[in-house]
Structure 1
């Protein structure tokens, strides 16, 4: 299954800024925040929040620890371990504590440590008063023995590469680039690559629950985090207190079905952007149909890409990823409109700002290990990868059906088609014996299309569907309606009526 990383920095921060009037606590300089004495085994780590946000949120203490887990849960006897980095944010005004709320931002490859820090700025006070917010970097991610096999030059080449190579020679060049990057992972990690699978990470979650002292798990997972939560539910149904799965992934979809679903989802979201653009000329300065504008700019970039001050050129690949980036949240639609208009005038800054936000590229040209981990997890999970020949065929088919995103998402399956070694597919099926699990979906979600929401709920057998008639990737706590339903479930274990839909605003 090919999954695009959920971009926490794009989508979630934009969401929390929009909610500033409702939920955001004040932020003070680190020296003014109270730091509680850490419990045994934990260390004070407000510096993590300061490093991420620039300041430390007032009213919280932050504590960190590393939990050792077996490298291979199927062979614990070999004694080899991996370190899982965990952070706990606890509100100073906490009362009537229920336990820990374990969180995951998706990806795969997103940092749950970062998410826990961000959530101190976004979660409703009624949640932070009742729960410790606990984030973890899954195995291979961020601070947790990170898998690092791509270099910055290779990632620049990958994002800038032709997203829809027409000639066979151009297609072969893209295959060769993917093979080079895959070979780098194989050379460094080899037989260890299957250990980065989702099932291994789900078993790590239960170890974290145990170390936190919680008899049962309360969990909030976004995007890929819904798959991680669903696998946990199948493995440990009797250890669940409450699970919120927001931005549902359909575990039963194979790589082709998943990629085509995303192509359809992004095409729908882009169509919504185009309609918004046509109705908001003052905020979206491009003239003409947005799809035609994007395709024209990409075609021009194939022969005459606009240069940028850091030496890069706005190739068709970089343009595509800028568009993808903006589809994750409606708050970035004005930025995309201006970036496309500027590109037509020979200015590429807006395109690279959006693309770099998606790719986790900093101003110095360095990347996090998001995409290293993303490939390792996706491909370890993919038990029946599609062939290169089939990808070439789908490229043409999907180009006709989904003009902007179809061919690139077909090409995106090359990594797992070429991935070496054994795979470790996750289990698929009902969570027999689990309590009700809340599955949340957004009608305009490009990355995890809404039709996956009822599919995940049905597969689990205990899923309750909550829909949001809005745009962008994931929903909680986007509106008061969504927040109220999720909060009530997390605190009182009372899910909303199945198939409840919240309005867009």
Structure 2
């Protein structure tokens, strides 16, 4: 039985974080590049015990699991694998002490880009069913630029505060110009610090790192569980190294064939749909939802009020329109957070901003001292580096005006990809094509997913050519291991390589 508290933590770990709140970052128009040889460096991993990492994440880790950390050294630039500098990719291995019929390692990634696979592995060690953990070591990695690996860090805490707090829909020319200036300043901060090295944080570079990890783990073929942006990593890997795939579960699928505008619009539409589902739940459960019967009107009013006269939180910070919208976005990733959202908006209109700011800060990884992790630095750098098709600022302004009508709550902020539009670094778009020679790959989609809308699931499966769709009729972002039906289907695939029948659909509960 999966502990609900652990499962909730897993859900939080797999945020997509790709373009709906400031700072914005969308997905790129992929351009195939097969010229780079699919090289991977072997050499093993020197593991050391690190129970402290699991304790920091879980508080009380399972007694029957050991935790070890290590590093795999990879080329800084896979285009020059033999003659250049290296960087270290941090790993954590969680191993059940009573494994039987061990299959190998299950490599995991929570998405982002910018999420920590090291932390995800600790959560999954307590959150996955014993059927899985008794057959696999759970191995998480922090991709290049992320967390415990060599970090990319180019935004100040003040810049991130300004970005998250900014009006999500700056209408007047003066307000729009202010947003453009902030986006330019943030982009230039990264350019000034990293210059041409920004391109080294691309998705394709990270996918090639995954093959070095596979080799270092001693696995002939890779078994992988990727959530959200992790599905893009997995898809790129499968194209580059199709014969090295054993079993891939891509949960919360991204369609790599979408250009940045189409990808952003898909996400705006997904969040609007998810909010409509929340509003319908509110209307039908007025006893649990203090902003019933019209949740959309209540949230819209809260954002408008925050523009005119923001309520201040306990630390004196103003709960501006940007912070309120961030709290809304954070809450739509999991149905379990709907009550928290309704309560936070109700508290805000009563003059208490604490719960709104708490929800927003959990999404932004902002601690009580106002300090940020490097989650959004990595998120922005990867997204902008991958993106070969961000429109110029004037085109984004036109999209903002158009999407305000189509997607009133989330369209304008999703359109305004003002950092990537002014990106100073070279781009490195990822390939988008078939994984010729790969075995069946399981692509999991949730019908109520806000961040990676369900429509992208069959598109990814079709692009890969070997994708098999598994559908969950649920709410929130990603599916495994939330219900028995989903869990059983994924486990049979991971363990026995049994592919679900075509059209397999799991109910919400």
Q: What's the TM-score once normalised by structure 2's chain length?
A: 0.92
Deviation digits for residues 293-336 of structure 1, max 9, x if unmatched? 11111111111000111121111000000000000000000000
CA 1:40–1:366: 2 relative to 1, 3 Å = closer
Give the Cα–Cα distance (whole angstroms) in 2 for the partners of residues 504 and 415 of structure 1.
38
Kindly report which structure 2 residues correspond to 1:58-457, keeping only aligned pairs within 5 A, or say none: 58-411=63-416, 413-457=417-461
Give the Cα–Cα distance (whole angstroms) in 2 for the partners of residues 410 and 11 of structure 1.
29
Tell me which stretches of 4 or more aligned residues in structure 1 moved more than 4 Å: 8-11, 13-16
CA 1:453–1:293: 2 relative to 1, 3 Å = same
CA 1:40–1:234: 2 relative to 1, 3 Å = closer
Q: 1:78 offset after TM fit, Å?
A: 3.1
Give the Cα–Cα distance (whole angstroms) in 2 for the partners of residues 78 and 15 of structure 1.
36
Alignment RMSD: 1.5
Give the Cα–Cα distance (whole angstroms) in 1 for the partners of residues 13 and 496 of structure 2.
25
Q: 1:57 offset after TM fit, Å?
A: 2.1
Give the Cα–Cα distance (whole angstroms) in 1 for the partners of residues 337 and 224 of structure 2.
28
Deviation digits for residues 80-137 of structure 1, max 9, x if unmatched? 0111000100001111000000000000000000000000121010000000000000
Is the contact between residue 221 and residue 246 of structure 1 (CA under 8 Å) also seen in structure 2? yes
Structure 2 unmatched ranges of 5 or more? 1-5, 15-43
SS of 1:76's equivalent in the other structure is: coil
Deviation digits for residues 445-466 of structure 1, max 9, x if unmatched? 0000000000000000000000
In structure 1, the partner of 2:10 is 12
Range moving further from structure 2, 305-314 or 134-143: 305-314
Is the contact between residue 10 and residue 358 of structure 1 (CA under 8 Å) also seen in structure 2? no
CA 1:67–1:487: 2 relative to 1, 3 Å = same
In structure 2, the partner of 1:45 is 50
Q: 1:366 offset after TM fit, Å?
A: 1.1
Quick check: 1:481 aligned with 2:485?
yes
Give the Cα–Cα distance (whole angstroms) in 2 for the partners of residues 266 and 285 of structure 1.
21
Deviation digits for residues 412-442 of structure 1, max 9, x if unmatched? x112111112110101100000000000000
Give the Cα–Cα distance (whole angstroms) in 2 for the partners of residues 151 and 54 of structure 1.
30
Give the Cα–Cα distance (whole angstroms) in 2 for the partners of residues 152 and 340 of structure 1.
25
Is the contact between residue 11 and residue 328 of structure 1 (CA under 8 Å) also seen in structure 2? no
Structure 1 unmatched ranges of 5 or more? 1-7, 17-38
Give the Cα–Cα distance (whole angstroms) in 2 for the partners of residues 11 and 62 of structure 1.
18
Is the contact between residue 14 and residue 331 of structure 1 (CA under 8 Å) also seen in structure 2? no
Give the Cα–Cα distance (whole angstroms) in 1 for the partners of residues 192 and 45 of structure 2.
40
Give the Cα–Cα distance (whole angstroms) in 1 for the partners of residues 480 and 11 of structure 2.
12
SS of 1:74's equivalent in the other structure is: coil
Quick check: 1:460 aligned with 2:464?
yes
Give the Cα–Cα distance (whole angstroms) in 1 for the partners of residues 293 and 442 of structure 2.
41
Deviation digits for residues 443-502 of structure 1, max 9, x if unmatched? 000000000000000000000000000000000001000000000000000110122110
Give the Cα–Cα distance (whole angstroms) in 1 for the partners of residues 91 and 10 of structure 2.
20
Q: 1:55 offset after TM fit, Å?
A: 2.6
SS of 1:241's equivalent in the other structure is: strand
Give the Cα–Cα distance (whole angstroms) in 2 for the partners of residues 428 and 267 of structure 1.
27
Is the contact between residue 107 and residue 224 of structure 1 (CA under 8 Å) also seen in structure 2? yes
Q: 1:353 offset after TM fit, Å?
A: 1.1
SS of 1:73's equivalent in the other structure is: coil
CA 1:11–1:90: 2 relative to 1, 3 Å = closer
Give the Cα–Cα distance (whole angstroms) in 1 for the partners of residues 286 and 10 of structure 2.
26
Give the Cα–Cα distance (whole angstroms) in 2 for the partners of residues 287 and 437 of structure 1.
42
Is the contact between residue 10 and residue 325 of structure 1 (CA under 8 Å) also seen in structure 2? no
Is the contact between residue 282 and residue 293 of structure 2 (CA under 8 Å) also seen in structure 1? no
Q: 1:14 offset after TM fit, Å?
A: 6.8
In structure 1, the partner of 2:27 is none
Is the contact between residue 9 and residue 357 of structure 1 (CA under 8 Å) also seen in structure 2? no
Give the Cα–Cα distance (whole angstroms) in 2 for the partners of residues 390 and 291 of structure 1.
28
Deviation digits for residues 163-219 of structure 1, max 9, x if unmatched? 100011110100111111111111110110000000000000000000000000000
SS of 1:464's equivalent in the other structure is: strand
Q: 1:40 offset after TM fit, Å?
A: 7.0
Give the Cα–Cα distance (whole angstroms) in 2 for the partners of residues 161 and 442 of structure 1.
31
Indicate the structure whose relative CO is greater, using CA pairs within 8 Å and at least 6 residues apart: 2
Is the contact between residue 13 and residue 110 of structure 2 (CA under 8 Å) also seen in structure 1? no
Q: What's the TM-score once normalised by structure 1's chain length?
A: 0.92
Q: 1:11 offset after TM fit, Å?
A: 6.0
In structure 2, the partner of 1:501 is 505
